[in-house]
Amino acid sequence: MNIKSAILLRIRIAFLFLVLFSFAIIWRIITVQQVEGEHWGKLAQQNLLQYRTVKATRGNIYSDNGSLLATSIPFYRLCFDPTIADRELFKNGIDSLSLLLSRFYKDKSAEEYKLLLKNSRKQGKEYLIINKDLINFQGKQTMSEWPIFRAGKSKGGVMFEKIDKRFRPFSTLAMRTVGFVNENNKGAGLEYTFNNQLAGRNGEALFRKMSGGHWKPVHDESEIRPVDGIDIQTTINVNIQDVAEASLRRHLASHDADYGCVVLMEVKTGEIKALANMGKIAPGVYAENYNYAVGEQGLTDPGSTFKLASMIALIEESGMQLTDTINTGKGEYKFYDRIMRDHTPNGYGVITMQEAFEKSSNIAISKKVQEVFGTKPEAFIGYVRRLGMADPLGFQMEGTAKPRIKTPTSKSWSGISLPWMSIGYELEVTPLQTLALYNAVANDGKMIRPIIVKSTKIVDHTIDEFETEVLIEKICSDKTLTMMREALEGVVERGTAINIKNANYKIAGKTGTAQKLKDKTYTRTYYTSFVGYFPADNPKYSCIVVIDNPRGGQQYGSDVAAPVFKEIADKIYATDLDLHQLVDLKKKDIINSKLPVIRGGNYEELAQLCNDYKIANHTKSEISEDWVSSRAVNSAVMWLPRTTAKDRLPDVNGYRLRDALYLLENKGLRVKVVGEGRVVRQTPAANSPLVGVSTVLLELK
């Protein structure tokens, strides 16, 4: 045999060997797959193997400035497969691991943990829940560096079972508005209404049932990964919401009332900035247990706040003037078999229609409506419809109640229906429905749909954006609007709400006090309200306050609900610079031209600057703070300490941008800047809670 033949023979032998080896490998794989298939098949038959849902991470709910109202925080349960770890790895690390587990959980000794781990390994347990307590992300990171665990899942056997928990950074703030979804997919509020968007899409994975009834994921190619939920951005302003809730809760408690609500929205946009609902859950204790502002339980006779609709109908239909007079008699008037009364014992006598509205005379409004619409009540109902009071608002929240408005064809319609309806009885609307009408008057007659969700988004990518939507282009003529705005201002200037009149800005609105019906009989319990807008000469906000069944000496809307409106409006006016005319700094400088324009900043720097330019400056007391405000006193600058609690947002109004950035960024906050000069406005407002705030908007001028 020559060399060439020998080489060919060896090649053939090698090729044959390779073929046989490959055949053996393939046979082995097929055999193993058959065995594994039979194994998994048996597990499936024994109901030990099944596809189970892998939950998606729920989307976040944000306030108007990006603060978190609700988010999902991941927690973890520590699980372990002790059979995976290498023998030497397990042997060398078990003592240290057991000690660390004992110190962390504080429920077993190190020896007990060591025995648990060793016995589980000996018994071949592939899925051991070391402790049922949940740990946070920091705890997970720490444990990942422990002995054995640091080898990871595939070599160390450690598994962290992720469990999302819903968290509200502002605790109970806007609790019912944010809402909830329970295990049966029932719920309320935004969590329920936008559940499809927030929930995302769950995944699916194969799980194997282990001893103890626990399920261990089997990671294979058939796993369907979950798709996380979409975020929603609301129109809620946390600062205004906080003010509304605090004021409402305090006044509910002082009157021992059953429940109350506040809705405050922007006139031009319809964006709801506060939606507070409080019900009594124990004596003197109130919580957000139902959405009375929009739900069925809040659907009730509105009382005198409905007189706005009656006045508009009268003016539009008959050309009535506010100066027209009407005789109300001595406080009682009989319609068919029913007596209507005014609040004053001796009546108002002859008064103008403007006075009738300002004093909230039931007799005057009802007599006039009966005079104009008595033979054509369907025409009055037509105006009610044109004013948007009979149709649902299409509000962005499940459970919104529909108005109940009688018509002449209704079975319960009677001779007294029209006069009683004209003053807010024998019909049922929600507070939000009433607010929409008053907002339309403030908005030059344009009725817009109230909104509470501005957009849905994934990270910074907007999915849907909800714009301001006009429901009725013009609810009435401009002439009628002018007359009614004058009448609404008169209620506060001279009428039933004169107690909330103030010198800083004008409020326009209407009080309401409705007797509650029980067993078809009106009782001595009341539904009180105040609804209006401010500032009256250039409206920015509209608001309604409702307090149900106040007890004690005060039981009218003017005494119970109106003060809540005033309290909320005052605080908004004090913090919203858009409601003020900005100080003309140049004019102020002319008054004291010797002094530079100083609003505030670092004390040492400002004091040194004044000293260098020989400007007198001093303090009332020793300054221990780094940051100050200033005030001109005669020909000198007085320094005033500006303190901020650690858990509150610093006050940087009046500061130069450099100083403002220093203070805010040292708090870990991102800063967005609009304009040049000094800070004239910061959002969120100074001294707001830091919790949930990530970005601050500074407006400079």
Where does the pLDDT of residue 48 fall: very low under 50, low under 70, confident under 90, or very high at 90 and above?
low
Average pLDDT over residues 357-369: 97
Where does the pLDDT of residue 33 fall: very low under 50, low under 70, confident under 90, or very high at 90 and above?
very low
Sequential DSSP letters for 404-471: EE--TTSTT--TTHHHHHTTT-SEEB-HHHHHHHHHHHHTTT-EE--BSEEEEEETTEEEEE----EE
Distance CA 397, CA 193 (A): 6
Average pLDDT over residues 430-441: 98
Grouping H, G, I as helix, E, B as strand and the rest as coil, residue 86 is coil
Asked whether residue 377 carries a pLDDT value surpassing 90, the answer given is: yes
Q: In one letter, which amino acid is 537?
A: D
Non-local CB neighbours of 122 within 8 Å, separated by 6+ positions: none
pLDDT of residue 698: 87
pLDDT of residue 24: 58
Q: How far is CA 430 from CA 358, 392, 403, 556, in A?
A: 23, 10, 7, 19
- pTM, two decimals, is 0.73
Of 431, 409, 412, nearest to 420 (Cα)?
412
> How many Cβ atoms from other residues are within 10 Å of residue 516's Cβ?
17
Q: In one letter, which amino acid is 361?
A: S
Non-local CB neighbours of 586 within 8 Å, separated by 6+ positions: none
Where does the pLDDT of residue 35 fall: very low under 50, low under 70, confident under 90, or very high at 90 and above?
very low
Mean residue pLDDT of the chain comes to 87
Distance CA 685, CA 237 (A): 11
Distance CA 674, CA 244 (A): 28
Give percent above pLDDT 70 in the chain. 87
pLDDT of residue 348: 95
Where does the pLDDT of residue 636 fall: very low under 50, low under 70, confident under 90, or very high at 90 and above?
confident
HEC sequence for 228-276: CCCEEEECCCHHHHHHHHHHHHHHHHHHCCCEEEEEEEECCCCEEEEEE
Place of tokens 């829940």: 129
Distance CA 23, CA 18 (A): 8
pLDDT of residue 1: 54
- Candidates 3.30.1490.20, 3.90.1310.10, 3.90.700.10, 3.40.50.1700; CATH matching 53-233: 3.90.1310.10
Average pLDDT over residues 187-211: 82
Asked whether residue 635 carries a pLDDT value surpassing 90, the answer given is: no
Q: How far is CA 565 from CA 244, 271, 569, in A?
A: 9, 18, 6
Q: Give the CA count within 13 Å in the CB-facing half-sphere of 652.
A: 29
Distance CA 439, CA 267 (A): 6
Residue 253: φ, ψ to 5°: -65, -40
Tell which wins on pLDDT, 142 or 35.
142
- Lowest pLDDT segment from 23-27, 460-464, 479-483, 628-632: 23-27
The domain locations on the chain are 3-46, 53-233, 239-579, 585-700
- Lowest pLDDT segment from 18-22, 76-80, 170-174, 370-374: 18-22
Would you give the end-to-end CA distance of the chain in angstroms? 103
- The CATH superfamily of 239-579 is DD-peptidase/beta-lactamase superfamily (3.40.710.10)
Grouping H, G, I as helix, E, B as strand and the rest as coil, residue 347 is coil
Residue 219: φ, ψ to 5°: -80, 110
Average pLDDT over residues 107-115: 95
Q: Please list the residues that pair with 512 across neighbouring strands.
A: 529
Non-local CB neighbours of 326 within 8 Å, separated by 6+ positions: 350, 351, 352, 353, 356, 364, 367, 368
Q: Please list the residues that pair with 181 across neighbouring strands.
A: 187
Contact between 443 and 469 (Cβ < 8 Å): no
Residue 451: φ, ψ to 5°: -125, 150
Q: In one letter, which amino acid is 34?
A: Q
- Lowest pLDDT segment from 360-369, 434-443, 472-481, 622-631: 622-631
Sort strands 695-700 and 670-675 into parallel, antiparallel or unpaired: parallel
Distance CA 158, CA 683 (A): 45
Asked whether residue 589 carries a pLDDT value surpassing 70, the answer given is: no
Asked whether residue 373 carries a pLDDT value surpassing 80, the answer given is: yes
Average pLDDT over residues 471-485: 98
Asked whether residue 47 carries a pLDDT value surpassing 60, the answer given is: no
Distance CA 644, CA 648 (A): 6
pLDDT of residue 584: 37
Structure tokens at 523: 């009782």
Where does the pLDDT of residue 203 fall: very low under 50, low under 70, confident under 90, or very high at 90 and above?
confident
CA angle 260, 264, 266 (to 5 degrees): 170
Asked whether residue 406 carries a pLDDT value surpassing 50, the answer given is: yes
Asked whether residue 696 carries a pLDDT value surpassing 90, the answer given is: no
pLDDT of residue 39: 46
- Lowest pLDDT segment from 32-46, 231-245, 299-313, 534-548: 32-46
pLDDT of residue 207: 59
Asked whether residue 536 carries a pLDDT value surpassing 70, the answer given is: yes
pLDDT digits (tens, 9 = 90+) for 379-397: 999 999 999 999 999 999 9
Structure tokens at 435: 């607010």
pLDDT digits (tens, 9 = 90+) for 204-256: 666 566 555 555 566 655 567 788 899 999 999 999 999 999 999 999 999 99
Contact between 292 and 275 (Cβ < 8 Å): no
pLDDT of residue 520: 61
